[in-house]
């Protein structure tokens, strides 16, 4: 399940797919093409009434109606047709109740959450209106390195097959301008984009686990008997912040541990964000830290885009949020 927000930055006017669908993949179909005629049902194919000439059929209908009216008496006219009993709805299955319960638990921490399939369908529809589709766009995807995030990435690839990964621990952005430009240079231009403009779709999200009992951070992994944690990098940072204090991780930009560059940069940026937002560390749990991380990653992504994307030559969309 995912909770995401979408920002589309393009000078193009909103438009729908020419055929009226949402996929944007049927450009060859004429917009004013008439819908295909429906085939007659089996009953109409073999019913003598269905194939009578129009005048004869109309006379038959009027005669039948007149006969029915004449046959009615005042007593029968007052009688009303019996109302068919409503069919009882089958009880919800165990699976349906479980999924509803899971969604309620997740929304207790992330009120705007959608299932991944629901969110991606809405996203595809929204981006199609701005000219983005799987043939003319490249996805620049930043998720945590955890294999638990593969599901979301794979679902993204079913809609936008061209994906360039800039993943980092905890979803932290450490690819830099060079790494970002490397992905942008792979974007399709011709013949998918007749205008010659590239189209980029940026996905960025930290992640968090919530197990079937509602425990935040807890998850089961294949082949392991004990429960594990997600995001481990996030929990590790929170543990160290509480043990050593934020001040130990507030350092000038560019100063980091050379033996552990990615994780040290991740913790330093988180600590700086907590300090900037004037949060009390005692009030921050794993779910709250994940939300803070999402805001920091979104800020980092905006900066990289400003340094790497030429808006004169490309349109782009930004999708950020939290993967649950």
Q: Give this prediction's pTM.
A: 0.72
In a domain, 150, yes or no: yes
Question: How would residue 101 be classed by pLDDT, with cut points 50, 70 and 90?
Answer: confident
pLDDT of the residue at 183: 94
pLDDT of the residue at 81: 56
pLDDT of the residue at 37: 33
Question: How would residue 13 be classed by pLDDT, with cut points 50, 70 and 90?
Answer: very low
Dist. CA 260–CA 310, nearest whole Å:
32
In a domain, 240, yes or no: yes
Q: Which of 295, 266, 273, 306 is nearest to 180 (CA)?
A: 306
Summarize pLDDT for 278-314 with one digit per residue, the tens: 999 999 999 999 999 999 999 999 999 999 999 999 9
Question: How would residue 193 be classed by pLDDT, with cut points 50, 70 and 90?
Answer: low
In a domain, 73, yes or no: no
Element (H, E) at 178: helix 176-184
The domain of 236 spans 92-320
Summarize pLDDT for 39-96 with one digit per residue, the tens: 333 333 323 222 333 333 443 444 444 445 444 445 544 455 566 666 767 777 888 8
Q: What Å distances lie between residue 300 and 174, 207, 269, 297, CA to CA? A: 9, 17, 9, 5
Structurally, how many domains does the chain consist of? 1
Summarize pLDDT for 249-283 with one digit per residue, the tens: 998 888 888 899 999 999 999 999 999 999 999 99
pLDDT of the residue at 29: 33
In a domain, 31, yes or no: no
In a domain, 182, yes or no: yes
Contact of 142 with 301, CB cutoff 8 Å: yes
In a domain, 269, yes or no: yes
Summarize pLDDT for 149-167 with one digit per residue, the tens: 999 999 999 999 999 999 9
* DSSP secondary structure letter of residue 92: P
In a domain, 49, yes or no: no
In a domain, 263, yes or no: yes
Summarize pLDDT for 112-134 with one digit per residue, the tens: 999 999 999 999 999 999 999 99
């Amino acid at each position: 399940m995912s909770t995401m927000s979408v920002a589309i930055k393009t000078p193009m006017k909103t438009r729908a797919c020419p055929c009226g669908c949402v996929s944007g993949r049927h450009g060859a179909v004429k917009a004013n093409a008439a819908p295909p005629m429906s085939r007659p049902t089996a009953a109409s194919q073999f019913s003598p009434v269905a194939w009578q000439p129009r005048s004869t059929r109309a006379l038959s209908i009027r005669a039948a109606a007149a006969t029915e009216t004449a046959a009615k008496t005042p007593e029968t006219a007052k009688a009303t047709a019996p109302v068919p009993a409503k069919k009882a709805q089958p009880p919800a299955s165990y699976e349906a109740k479980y999924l509803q319960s899971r969604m309620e638990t997740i929304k207790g921490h992330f009120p705007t959450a959608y299932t991944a399939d629901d969110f991606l369908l809405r996203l595809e529809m929204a981006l199609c209106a701005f000219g983005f589709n799987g043939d003319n766009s490249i996805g620049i995807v930043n998720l945590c390195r955890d294999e638990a995030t593969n599901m979301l990435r794979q679902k993204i690839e079913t809609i936008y097959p061209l994906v360039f990964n800039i993943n980092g621990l905890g979803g932290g952005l450490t690819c830099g301008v060079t790494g970002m430009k490397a992905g942008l240079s792979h974007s399709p231009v011709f013949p998918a984009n007749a205008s010659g403009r590239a189209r980029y779709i940026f996905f960025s999200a930290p992640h968090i686990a919530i197990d079937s009992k509602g425990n935040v951070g807890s998850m089961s992994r294949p082949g392991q008997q004990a429960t594990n944690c997600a995001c481990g990098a996030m929990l590790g940072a929170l543990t160290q912040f509480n043990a050593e204090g934020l001040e130990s991780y507030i350092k000038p930009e560019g100063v980091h541990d050379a033996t552990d560059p990615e994780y040290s940069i991740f913790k330093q940026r988180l600590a700086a964000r907590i300090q900037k937002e004037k949060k009390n560390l005692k009030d921050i749990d794993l779910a709250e830290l994940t939300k803070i991380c999402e805001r920091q990653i979104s800020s980092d992504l905006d900066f990289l885009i400003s340094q790497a994307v030429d808006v004169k030559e490309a349109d782009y969309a930004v999708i950020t949020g939290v993967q649950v």
